[in-house]
Amino acid sequence: MDVLDLARLQFAVTGSLHFLFVALTLGLAPLVAIMNTRYVRKGDPELERMTRFWGQIYVTNYALGIVTGLVMEFQFGLSWSGLTHYAGDVFGAPLAVETLVAFFLESTFLGLWIFGWHKLPKRLHLACIWLVTLTAYASAFWIMVGNSFLQNPAGAVVRGDHLELVDFGALLGNPTLVMALPHVLAAGLLTAGCVVMGASAYQLFRRTAEQAFFTRSLRIGVVTAFAGAFLTSGFGYAQFGFVDSVQPDKWSATPLAGTGLGSMQMIGETMVLLTMLALICVKWLPRWRWAHPVLMLITPLPFIALILGWIAREVGRQPWLIYNKLTVADALTPGLTQGRIMLSFVAFAGVLGLLAVVDYLLIARLVRRGPAVIALGEQPAPQPVLTF
């Protein structure tokens, strides 16, 4: 395998792993915010426990996902300096906005939400988690703006040896962004819904003492998963017209892209059918113990579909990194040796693979432990009364 193929494989592996963290974060954030809203409105202690329990899973995934994102950013300078030189003025703009505005604001509001339990007024505390959700969606928007520019370099013209942004509105209204963004956001809802559904089914299958807690959680997961599956499928098919208008040979030129697309469609249609059946039976599903292993087996399917969709979107424009403007070969860092790229590949893939395993183990541990012990939002210890 030559240097170019190694660099491509490196980015594909790390990009896929990072995307899995992102999707779950995007899906869990609004779910936790909705649970928190219901708690504030009704004052039901069970809803507070649900918010804290699923919130700690969200925080765990978010924290580990940050590190994978830093690795992704580092790779642009290490392996793809040609992209930075040729299109840094355009491609770097949405990434900078995402980092400086959306990401930092998201982290700030999340910190206030995590440490503000029982300290901030309830409605102000609630506003923090909704701001986390909005900034997470804003972050996804700017990332997709950058990615859509690679698919279709709208709003930019060639000036000498580089691209220059001349129409910011065209960059934001890119046809490859219009349906792709809601498709990704809906995929996040599907992923989070399946995680909540599968984890709740696991606890119910074990005949947990928290039957009421996980019955409510299972039903929330089913509704979310169905809404996510339906919207993901709808926005996915709606993309075809936009993509064909700018990349007419996307699905036929590269067999891997066509295979990824076909497999993703098959999983997506299966998810729509399965979640629809689960929604129809949602009243009785918590009591059907035979169905719980099925729900657990469904949980990994959205993650597989996410990787297949990423492959279809990215591989389908090869050999271009920026479609019809910059090839992958020209974007590769000059002088990059096989030994250097292999070393960084092993290091990056090892770190991200380890983080993915740790993320899974931590979430699995939290799920197995259940809501009996929840560190997030724990009530402050009573202070001793001093008498003189």
Indicate if the alpha-carbon torsion angle 335, 3, 255, 142 is positive or negative. negative
In a domain, 23, yes or no: yes
Kindly state whether residue 4 falls inside one of the protein's structural domains. no
Question: Tokens for 276?
Answer: 């629809």
- How distant is the alpha carbon of residue 26 from its chain centre? 5
Rounded Cα distance, 89 and 322, in Å: 14
What is the predicted pLDDT for the residue at 79? 87
Q: How many domains does the chain have?
A: 1
Instruction: Give the DSSP letter string of 250-293.
Output: HHHH-HHHHHHHHHHHHHHHHHHHHHHHHHHTTTTGGG-GGGHH
**DSSP string computed for 125-136:** HHHHHHHHHHHH
Helices (H), the chain: 3-42, 45-79, 81-97, 104-115, 122-151, 168-172, 175-178, 180-205, 211-246, 250-253, 255-280, 292-298, 301-315, 328-331, 338-369
DSSP string computed for 45-71: HHHHHHHHHHHHHHHHHHHHHHHHHHH
Question: Which tokens is 287 given?
Answer: 């009591």
| pLDDT attached to residue 379 | 64
CB-neighbour burial class of residue 68 (10 A; exposed 0-12, middle 13-18, buried 19+) = buried
Query: Which of 181, 270, 263, 177 shows the shortest CA–CA distance to 225?
Result: 270
My answer on whether omega of the bond before 319 falls inside 30° of 0, hence cis, is yes
The structure tokens listed for 57 are 């899973």
3-class secondary structure, 341: helix
Q: Are 246 and 152 in contact (CB under 8 A)?
A: yes
pLDDT tens for the chain, 388 residues long, are 789 999 898 888 888 888 999 999 999 999 999 999 999 999 999 999 999 999 999 999 998 888 888 777 777 778 888 998 899 889 888 888 888 777 788 889 999 999 999 899 999 999 999 999 999 999 999 999 999 999 999 999 999 889 999 999 999 999 999 999 999 999 999 999 999 999 999 999 998 888 999 999 999 999 999 999 999 999 999 998 888 888 888 877 687 888 888 999 999 999 999 999 999 999 999 999 999 999 999 999 999 999 999 888 888 888 999 999 999 999 998 888 888 889 888 888 888 889 899 999 999 999 999 898 788 876 654 445 555 4
Residues forming a β-bridge with 322: 326
Q: What are the φ/ψ torsions at residue 162 (nearest 5 degrees)?
A: -150, 165
**Domain for residue 314, yes or no?**
yes
Residue 259 lies in a domain: yes
Name beta bridge partners: 159: 162
Q: Specify if 378 maps to a domain.
A: no
Could you tell me if residue 292 is inside a domain? yes
Residue 157, SS3? strand
User: How distant, in Å, are the alpha carbons of 1, 22, 194, 198, 229 from that of 285?
Assistant: 50, 29, 14, 12, 19
pLDDT of residue 381: 46
304 CB contacts (<8 Å, ≥6 apart)?
267
The predicted model scores a pTM of 0.92
Q: Is residue 55 part of a domain?
A: yes
Query: What torsion, rounded to 10 degrees, do the Cα atoms 41, 45, 46, 49 define?
Result: 100
pLDDT at 388: 45
| Domain span at 225 | 10-372
Q: Quote the radius of gyration of the chain (alpha carbons, Å).
A: 22
| CB 314, CB 243: distance < 8 Å | no
Instruction: Give residue 28's pLDDT.
Output: 96
Residue 226, Cβ density class (10 Å: 0-12 exposed, 13-18 middle, ≥19 buried): buried
Reading the block at residue 65, the tokens are 């996902």
- Residue 356 in any domain: the answer is yes
